[in-house]
Copies of this chain bind each other. A is one copy, B any other.
Amino acid sequence: MSFSVTEENYIKAIYHLQQEDGNVSTNELAAMLHTKPASVTDMLKKLKVKKLLSYERYKGVRLNSEGKKLALAIVRKHRLWEYFLVDTLQFGWDEVHEVAEELEHISSKKLVEKLDAFLGHPKFDPHGDPIPDSHGKMIVQQHVNLIDLPINKMAEVTGVGSQSTELLELLKHKHIGIATKLEVKRKFNFDHSIEIKIKNQNSFTISQQLAQALFVKPV
């Protein structure tokens, strides 16, 4: 069976919202997709008929195994294309998200596999998110929020909490990227800002909001 771009975007949105919460609400979905709750209800009925999810009215929605499989295939394509754009075509990591949103809907299975092989089967995309393999399996990062990193513990940046241009622009300015090594020197309770030190650099403070958008792995 084949699905429209719109249907794929719904499946992907449900997949991402489902990570934390179990069931996803109509309102959450409407907000994420910049549409209205009424439209979401219509689409959920359609996707239920297509057997991608379980949905009971007023009870929220949850992907079934078919739905998860489709979601992982889309996420795989998105992250492989992002890797391609940055690694092969020299895009900045802050300008690939929108383009990948389009490329992820190209249907050819052969294209995905050839692209994956050409790129050398990468395991993480430029934002540190793991790339599912052709069976939907991916490495689970046990990374922790920078806000929770103990003082003076060396760690490596492994991911960012959002793909927004604003965040990536700020990180570029501060010379923080995936694999940057750093440690927390002080935590200030007044505004929850933290002082960090990157190797061979003077330490500086970053805001609570920024710290919460960074994931690290202690090394």
Contact = CB atoms under 8 A, between A and B. Distances in A.
Interface stretch (A88-96, A143-151, A206-214): A88-96
Contact of A107 (B102, B108, B110): B102
Interface in A18-55: none
Nearest to A108: B99
A114 B89 CA distance: 6
How often does this chain occur in the complex, in copies? 2
Interface in A152-173: none
A90 to B, nearest CB: 7
Contacts of A89: 111, 114-115, 118
A102 B106 contact: yes
A216 interface: no
A102 B91 contact: no
Given A89-B115, A89-B118, A91-B110, 10 more contacts: A85-B111, A89-B111, A89-B114, A95-B110, A98-B108, A99-B106, A99-B108, A99-B110, A102-B107, A103-B106
Interface of A: 85, 88-91, 95, 98-99, 102-103, 106-108, 110-111, 114-115, 118
The 8 closest A-B pairs by CB, nearest first: A89-B114, A99-B108, A102-B106, A99-B111, A89-B118, A103-B106, A88-B118, A89-B115
